[in-house]
Structure 1
Amino acid sequence: MSEELYNSVPSFNTYEGIKDDCSAGINDGMLNSCDKLTLREACNDNNFYRNYLIAEKYLNHFKAMGNSPYVEYACKYFSYWVYKEMLKDNQYGYSVSELRDIIMRRKDVNTCNDYVENISTQIYLNIKKLIDLHNNFMEVLGGTNSFDLNKAEKLFNFYNGLINTCYLNSDDSFCNGIETIRNGYNETLIKATDCAPYNFLQPFQKRPEKSANTIATAAITAISFASIMTYKFTPLGSWVRYRLSGNKNLRNKLEKEFNVSQNSSELQDMEYRVPYNSS
């Protein structure tokens, strides 16, 4: 997925208007012309085929524009809309790129070659959040008296619900999309005192750094774990197994004896005095 998919969300309202224009003139009589060799069982779904015809007209609308920036954003919206209206339930098994290829072959519409995006459920949900954030921004700007304070509060709260999903200077495309809208909002409303305290959206939090103590603790834990796993292969491990195999009641005494032996120079020669135990 390209980063431009999320960055293009603020332009979606424009392309949605073009898509709505493309729906004009599509009537019920046209729904009987579905090519069953191409769309198979999807031809039995009038709503699917109606949207397919809209998609044909939409791509044909941008056919003459080549690879202009307008086409790129138009294709990003196309990808989102096709997934939302035709593929979200995955009823017929198509992807966005597959449907675009079908239209290209049937109508000789060579558009969106490099710009079409195959949308997943998570990407779709992220786009919806960005659309809601942007639409709230537009509603704030549409207030009758300068800016709409109630709408600003609504956007402020919505943004705060997203802020903990990202970190400052993140390379995540979704987070960058949020930041693009946040920057536009702040630049527009920073001087709008009638919207205070909702005229400034806080930046993302910094990514937490691991402290030196945390790293040291992790290292000690790893070393201790390794010691526990390997002690049984040492002379000391043989001695412990031997003492424990004889009598389980010696466990408590063993700890005391071992503490005493730690301070004795005899511990250095222990491996030569440990009885052999083949078990």
Structure 2
Amino acid sequence: MGETIYSVVRSFSQYKSIIDRLTNDDITPNRGQCANLFNGSLNEYKDLLSSDKCEKGMKFLSFLKENVHSYKIADGCQYIYHWLYTDVLSKNESTHNIFTFYNNLMEAYDEYDVDTCKNHIEHIKKIIISKLDKLMELYKYFNQISSQIESCSCAKKCATLYNDYLKICHEENDQDFCNELENFKTSYENRVISLVCDDSLPKTLPSVRGNSFIVALTSCIVILSISFISFMLYKFTYLGSMLHARIIKKKIWNYIDKEPHEILYNSNMSNISSENSLYNISYNSTEYS
């Protein structure tokens, strides 16, 4: 299915490991900068955002900017958006509020030349944070699947979550969300094919296209088949020859039935024409007599 606005979910563990690696020694240099922001542009958020979280976010974005050839900046910006939602706001804010918070935070970081996500704000705005969170959870269990037997429970959890989210896909018709589920389906099936588990683990997952695609495809096949069979019957079988003969016979009878009417019509027209001629002769004779 290719790239979607939720593509970061496929590599979120990579960005999580970066932000988890940041220690106090890494973030201390940003301490004074965040304190200044809390006294200025981030004053309204000082009760939501602790100094440690503010500094960690700033350091994470600085790291991405310094390693632009090793990491996708767009994915890193999506990850920090989700990180603010889960780790800073504990999923307590609405989508609108979390985006406003994120946007204001990025603008505040800009004061210290940490403008890593400036070019990705409009892209981030399209993301529905609750769906990004669901996909993150899906891949969290997926990344725990290995070739070990204990991975079966993680695989089963993936299958359960996938089927739950598939209902949301069909109900809300979010194309990016549905396509990302289809991407996950492919990854899941490739991963579990060699996994040894009991029969309760599905080795395949239903497609997001569902039964509607199958019904449409079946209908097309049926229509084409009927058309082809009808042509073959008409062209190459006794039934076709008989139908063809009947059509020709009907045309002949129509012609025969039509012929007397045309003869009668032509005769009448001839009589009328003759009468007109006689009238004209009589008229002309009277006029010059």
The aligned length equals 200
Measure how far apart 1:67 and its partner are: 7.5
Instruction: Give, in whole Å, the separation in 2 of the partners of 1:119 and 1:23.
Output: 30
Instruction: Give, in whole Å, the separation in 2 of the partners of 1:153 and 1:76.
Output: 27
Change (3 A) 1:72 1:57: same
TM-score using structure 1 length: 0.59
1:179-217 per-position Cα deviation (integer Å, ceiling 9, x unaligned) = 11111011222354545442211212134889xxxxxxx
For 1:14, give the aligned amino acid.
Q
TM-score using structure 2 length: 0.57
Instruction: Give, in whole Å, the separation in 1 of the partners of 2:98 and 2:169.
Output: 35
2:179 matches 1:176: yes
Instruction: Give, in whole Å, the separation in 1 of the partners of 2:196 and 2:57.
Output: 44
1:86-110 per-position Cα deviation (integer Å, ceiling 9, x unaligned) = 45537899432221121012x1123
What is the aligned-residue identity percentage? 22
Structure-2 residue corresponding to 1:198 = 202
Instruction: Give, in whole Å, the separation in 1 of the partners of 2:139 and 2:106.
Output: 27
Structure-2 residue corresponding to 1:9 = 9
Instruction: Give, in whole Å, the separation in 2 of the partners of 1:80 and 1:92.
Output: 9
Instruction: Give, in whole Å, the separation in 2 of the partners of 1:173 and 1:159.
Output: 15
2:164 matches 1:158: no
1:135 to 134, 140, 155: 140
Structure-1 residue corresponding to 2:129 = 124
* 1:80/1:124 contact within 8 Å kept: yes
Structure whose residues are more often helix by fraction: 2
Structure-2 residue corresponding to 1:18 = 18
Instruction: List runs of 5+ in structure 1 lacking aligned partners.
Output: 211-279
Structure-2 residue corresponding to 1:110 = 115
Measure how far apart 1:37 and its partner are: 2.0
Change (3 A) 1:186 1:67: same
Change (3 A) 1:166 1:148: same
Instruction: Give, in whole Å, the separation in 2 of the partners of 1:92 and 1:207.
Output: 36
* 1:140/1:151 contact within 8 Å kept: yes
Structure-2 residue corresponding to 1:56 = 58
* 2:7/2:180 contact within 8 Å kept: yes
For 2:93, give the aligned amino acid.
D
1:183-262 equivalent positions in 2, closer than 5 A: 183-192=186-195, 194=197, 196=199, 197-204=201-208, 205-207=210-212
* 1:59/1:109 contact within 8 Å kept: yes
The structure number with the bigger radius of gyration is 2
Measure how far apart 1:148 and its partner are: 2.6
Instruction: Give, in whole Å, the separation in 1 of the partners of 2:83 and 2:51.
Output: 14
